[in-house]
Structure 1
Amino acid sequence: MQIKDEEALMFPEKLKSDPNKHSRDKYCRFHRDHGHDTADCYDLKQQIEALIRQGKLQKFIRKEKTDPPPQDQHPRRDNERPRPPIGYIRMIVGGTAAAGSSKKARKTYFQMVQNVQLTGAVPKIARKESPIIGFSEEDARRLHHPHDDALVVNLRVEDYNMHRVLVDNGSSTDILYYPIFQQMRIDRERLIPTNAPLVGFGGSQVFPLGAVTLSVVVGDYPQQITKDVTFLVVDCSSAYNAILERPTLNSWKAVTSTYHLMIKFPTNYGVGELRGS
């Protein structure tokens, strides 16, 4: 870790999760603790990115750019066959989602999807029409533009007001991090075992500690909804307390806008709103 002597780098405390559950084969020189490798440390990557944006690591960046990349030496023509990729950067995938965790459940789900695609069946119209959801510049007036902030919200989960919940439309399962699970004092017996691994945490597979279903309240009364959400509990460090994923947003019929940093969803009393924090 070449930047360890940089004064701007702030070393965090040791991991708060149970030390007995940490992998002794992996050691993070940033956290000075076992559990994950330094190269896979999310907190370290976040600090490095922030320091680069602040211009405090220019000497390391210049060192990497002394040799021009191959594509700069040989510009690709428009009619030239593109080079194959050297790897893949994937989103968080796996988990139970709509398909379930068993092979039989996933097979049944894919058969249903294929049947809908082939027949083009149109779902029945609900008795009560849903309100029209839209966004305007008025919704964005509180924000500083331009911005590239992530959509991070506060939710009521069980009896707790949970801050720093990342809304991620691209991933397939809801995540609750184990330190927060412990802080909420949820009985470990409520964890349902699952054999569905997740991919996307440092590029390797992560096996959740289990799944837990919690009550989530979204919005302000009376334009609010209360739904049960099944989270996969993951024991690794994160800048967020939880991640809210695509299947749950779909079940709420929620519409997200990263430009407005807002979620809107239909309720029995009109359109509910949840603003980014």
Structure 2
Amino acid sequence: MKFAAPQPIRQPLEQRDKSKHCAYHRDYGHMTNDCRSLRRKVENMLLRGELADYLTTKEYVKPRETNPWSVDGNQVKVIHAIHGRSEDDQESDEVYRSRLRITHKLRLSSVNTIVSRSINIRFGDGDLSIVQLSHEDPLVISLLVVNCMIKRVLIDPWSSANIIAKTVFEQLEIPSLSVRPTFSPLMGFDGTKVDPLGVIDLSVTAAKRTLKENFVLTEIHPSYNLIMGRGWIHRMNGVSSTLHQVMRCLSPDGKEVIDLRGDQVAAKEYYMLTQNEAKKAEDEAEAKKPTEESLEAVEVILGDPRKITYMGSSPIAEEKEALIKVIRRNADAFA
């Protein structure tokens, strides 16, 4: 059986492992058995029934996706993105999936990983081998907050506060009585003030630590589900790098380094969603602009095409006729 030629491997040749060869790509960099492109190709063919003759059973059922998040063996609730395409979005699912295909090829596990190394926190070229380059992606991770795994959490060392949107807070199912009032507004870089709904303490678990963190609760439409500021980064003994797409933390005993990996796919998906929303808002604003009214020539003196004036074409027939009569009665004014 022959397959159509796949997209070439995007990783630069000098960064590939030349001891590994993929028969599907006919190139170096990974083994055929580890080729995700081939795996997806075969799975799609199975779903379409094109490989039925090669199956022991004639029907292929795609394995159900499971919730990979668990704490002490117990699965936890997962809060995904607040954003989503609106129901009246005209872009088809197939078009949307095709636009995201390249980023899904590069999805990394966002589960925390423990790296045994010296206690010095550093970044090197080895960290870039699992990052799509070049990129301008923010560092977006997943965090266990209270008893929920929250996706699309922005690590922002420029923010002095941890921020949670009301829509996310409601999904945590915490009594609103836990929220304390505050009179300190959030300040944007442009000086814009946002009055928060209050503040609340929530437990955040990552890198073998559970910290009680103070969050500012806002009612604004969130860009991300959570924003974790520099105070939390410092209390985690962590250093974040958007280039390397990782927040690297010392363990509580200081004997190992624990990585909180970024999810470039989540970052790119959000970027595409915001681009779509911005374009939609722009189109709506454009549609609300008054259209340029067409003009209609009117003979000031009936039968004399040399003396004309112009009037808008919008008046109804009765008004239009009355205006023309006024113009012709005062023809001298248009000389």
TM-score (norm 2): 0.42
Compute the displacement of 1:11 (Å): 7.4
| CA distances 1:131-154 after superposition (whole Å, capped 9, x unpaired) | 211112222211110100010110
Report matched runs for 1:193-208 at 5 Å: 193-200=181-188, 204-208=192-196
Letter in 2 for 1:152: V
- 2:262 matches 1:276: yes
| CA distances 1:144-172 after superposition (whole Å, capped 9, x unpaired) | 10100010110000100000011111111
Report matched runs for 1:214-225 at 5 Å: 214-219=202-207, 224-225=208-209
Alpha-carbon distance change, 144 to 204 in structure 1, aligned in 2, over 3 angstroms: same
- 2:153 matches 1:165: yes
Letter in 2 for 1:231: F
Alpha-carbon distance change, 180 to 11 in structure 1, aligned in 2, over 3 angstroms: closer
Map of 2:134 onto structure 1 = 146
Report matched runs for 1:122-141 at 5 Å: 131-141=119-129
Work out the number of aligned pairs and report it: 151
Map of 1:212 onto structure 2 = 200
Q: How many angstroms apart in 1 are the aligned matches of 2:195 and 2:180?
A: 13
Q: Which 4+ runs in 1 deviate beyond 2 A?
A: 10-14, 201-204
Compute the displacement of 1:227 (Å): 1.0
SS of 1:250's equivalent in the other structure is helix
Match of 2:227 among 243, 261, 269: 243
Q: How many angstroms apart in 2 are the aligned matches of 1:183 and 1:158?
A: 11
Letter in 1 for 2:215: F
Identity percentage over the alignment?
33
SS of 2:234's equivalent in the other structure is helix
Map of 2:32 onto structure 1 = none
Map of 1:190 onto structure 2 = 178
Alpha-carbon distance change, 226 to 245 in structure 1, aligned in 2, over 3 angstroms: same
Q: Which has the higher contact order (CA 8 A, sep 6+)?
A: 1
- 2:162 matches 1:174: yes
Q: How many angstroms apart in 1 are the aligned matches of 2:119 and 2:199?
A: 33
Compute the displacement of 1:12 (Å): 3.6
Alpha-carbon distance change, 201 to 159 in structure 1, aligned in 2, over 3 angstroms: farther
